[in-house]
């Protein structure tokens, strides 16, 4: 299977008044697994449907292998797609479902051969004469994948295929998908609302919010350096503290907040702009200490009082009242240490280089 580069260029899609997609552009390299991550209603499924040719964009174009393609669906498009509901035909057997996906002329023997090979590869050969409603969730998933792959498409589109699957099976299935995708080297676009799905198997991730691509990058860069509060929220940042940024001296930034006071730290590059800002920090980057702890100068410190503490097993999650706001803190749980009770005054410290500042 030769893989294909795909360019999505300035796609706009309107339905009714508000546009669902606004000038969406990105490129997927040949053989890459590209994830489009976004909350429900962000337009990510519509984007996939436009790429598949199931929906007509208001403007913009799709290029595969450098050549522009008609955005209408045509038999020559050669796209494989797995739908969120899987959409297996309930009146056909597994074999018939998969064989239906073969486009173009194919002799009976050839069909037989291709379907059998695929079922073997996906480890579902023993289900070939069963109907979809007799299969387990994982098997149905594989049948849908087999049907999408049988025509040897040069582009594979996956619409949240793990959405309705329990966690353990989900982990297994996305691993299997990654293995098959690598083996076939097929360019793949995966749409998902699940952060873990995207981070764990994608080569690159695009975050879509309200029909706009907010950020594209490697999973780790998206996680570590979200480009906007919207992306930050989506990748699990919970604390957004309002304040004002000022530049003091060379390479030193000062953030003053009516709630947590003044913080200073030094930055080599990417200095945040001056003015009103939001300081964002993950719950697990914050640490709780007794109030009389020695304040290490490399850290920033503020005082607060624990409002609630929830023991979650691996971690304890605290809500700490600081000034007029609540801050979430997650602490690793250590054997035999009970959670600090609510009402306790505490000192909260963090490494300011782990914080991100957004203009607010």
Partner 1 sequence: MQNKRTGFGTPELLFALSVGILLVVVAFPMLLIFFNAFWVDGHFNVADVVKVLQRKETYQALLNSLFLSGGVTVTGTIVGTFFAWLVTRTDLPFKKTMKLLFLVPFMLPAFIGALAWKMLLSPRAGYINRFFMDVLGFDNPIFDIYTYAGIILVETMYLFPFVFIQVSGALERMDPTLEESARISGADLFTITRKITIPLVLPSILSGALLIMLYSMAHFGTVAVLGVETGIYNIPVLIYEKIHQSAGSFDSIRTATVLATVLVITAALIMWTQNRVLAKGKYQIIAGKSFRPTELKLRGLRIPLFAFCVLYIAFTIILPTATIFLVGGLKTYGLPFDMENLTWANYHHILFEWDLTRDSIWNSITLGLASALITMFAGVIVSYVIVKMKVKGKGILEFLGMLPFSVPGSVIALGVILAWSGKFGISIYNTVWIILVAYIARYMAFSLKANSAALEQVHDSLVEAARASGATMAQALKDVVIPLVRPGMVAAFFLIFLPALRELTVSVLLYGPTTRTIGVAIYTLNEDGETVYSAALAGIALIIIVVGEVLIKRLVTSKNGA
**Closest alpha carbon to 85 in 150, 192, 147, 161:** 161
Using CB under 8 A as the binding rule, whether residue 85 contacts partner 1 is answered as: yes
**Closest alpha carbon to 195 in 227, 170, 228:** 170
Please tell me the distance from the alpha carbon of residue 271 to that of residue 153, in angstroms, as a whole number: 46
Return the number of the residue (104 or 341) whose C-beta is nearest partner 1.
Answer: 104
Residues 21-60 interacting with partner 1 (rule: CB under 8 A) = 49, 52, 54-55
Which stretches of the chain are DSSP H helices?
A: 44-52, 94-100, 108-121, 137-149, 167-184, 195-201, 219-224, 229-234
Among 50, 81, 191, 208, binds partner 1 (CB under 8 A): 81
Residues 164-203 interacting with partner 1 (rule: CB under 8 A) = none
Among 34, 83, 162, 240, binds partner 1 (CB under 8 A): 83
Query: Smallest gap, in angstroms, from Cβ of residue 88 to partner 1?
Result: 8
Cβ proximity of 309 and 318 under 8 Å: yes
**Phi, psi (degrees; rounded to nearest 5) at 22:** -120, 110
**Phi, psi (degrees; rounded to nearest 5) at 184:** -85, -15
Using CB under 8 A as the binding rule, whether residue 16 contacts partner 1 is answered as: no
Q: How many residues bind partner 1 (CB under 8 A)?
A: 26
Return the number of the residue (37 or 51) whose C-beta is nearest partner 1.
Answer: 51
Residue with tokens 């209603």: 41
Interaction mask 319-358, partner 1, x per CB under 8 A: ----------------------------------------
Return the number of the residue (151 or 331) whose C-beta is nearest partner 1.
Answer: 151
Query: Smallest gap, in angstroms, from Cβ of residue 78 to partner 1?
Result: 8
**Closest alpha carbon to 171 in 199, 146, 150, 143:** 199
Return the number of the residue (89 or 311) whose C-beta is nearest partner 1.
Answer: 89
Using CB under 8 A as the binding rule, whether residue 133 contacts partner 1 is answered as: yes
Using DSSP bridges, classify how beta strands 300-311 and 212-217 pair: parallel, antiparallel or unpaired.
unpaired
Using CB under 8 A as the binding rule, whether residue 135 contacts partner 1 is answered as: no
Among 17, 18, 67, 104, binds partner 1 (CB under 8 A): 104
Query: Smallest gap, in angstroms, from Cβ of residue 145 to partner 1?
Result: 12
Burial track 332-355 (b if 16+ CB lie within 10 A, e otherwise): eeeeeeebbeeebebbbbbebeeb
| Structure token pair of residue 6 | 């795909």
Q: Residues interacting with partner 1, by CB under 8 A?
A: 49, 52, 54-55, 73, 75, 77, 79-81, 83-85, 87, 89-91, 100-104, 133, 147-148, 151
């Amino acid at each position: 299977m030769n893989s294909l580069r795909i360019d999505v260029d300035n796609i706009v899609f309107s339905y009714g008044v508000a546009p669902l997609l606004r000038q969406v552009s990105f490129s997927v390299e040949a053989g890459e697994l590209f994830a489009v991550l976004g909350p429900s209603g962000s337009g990510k499924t519509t984007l996939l449907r436009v790429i598949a040719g199931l929906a007509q964009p208001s403007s913009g174009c799709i290029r595969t292998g450098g050549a522009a393609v008609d955005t209408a669906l045509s038999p020559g498009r050669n796209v494989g797609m797995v739908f969120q509901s899987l959409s297996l035909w309930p009146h056909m057997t597994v074999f018939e479902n998969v064989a239906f996906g073969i486009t173009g002329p194919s002799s009976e023997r050839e069909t037989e051969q291709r379907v059998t090979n695929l079922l073997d590869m996906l480890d579902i050969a023993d289900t070939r004469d069963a109907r979809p409603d007799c299969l387990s969730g994982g098997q149905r998933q594989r049948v849908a994948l087999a049907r999408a792959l049988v025509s040897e498409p040069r582009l594979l589109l996956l619409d949240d295929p793990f959405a309705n699957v329990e966690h353990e099976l989900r982990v297994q299935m996305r691993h299997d998908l990654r293995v098959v995708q690598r083996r076939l080297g097929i360019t793949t676009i995966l749409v998902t609302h699940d952060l873990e799905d995207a981070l764990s198997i994608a080569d690159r991730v695009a975050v879509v919010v309200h029909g706009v691509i907010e950020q594209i990058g490697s999973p780790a860069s998206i996680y570590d350096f979200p480009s906007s509060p919207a992306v930050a929220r989506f990748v699990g940042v919970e604390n957004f503290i309002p304040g004002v940024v000022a530049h003091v001296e060379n390479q030193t930034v000062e953030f003053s907040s009516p709630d947590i006071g003044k913080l200073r730290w030094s930055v080599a590059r990417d200095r945040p702009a001056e003015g009103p800002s939001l300081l964002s920090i993950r719950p697990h980057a914050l640490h709780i200490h007794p109030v009389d702890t020695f304040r290490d100068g490399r850290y920033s410190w503020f005082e607060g009082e624990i409002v609630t503490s929830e023991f979650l097993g691996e971690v304890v999650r605290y809500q700490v009242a600081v000034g007029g706001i609540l801050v979430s803190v997650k602490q690793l749980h250590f054997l035999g240490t009970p959670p600090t009770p609510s009402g306790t005054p505490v000192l909260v410290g963090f490494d300011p280089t782990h914080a991100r500042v957004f203009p607010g």
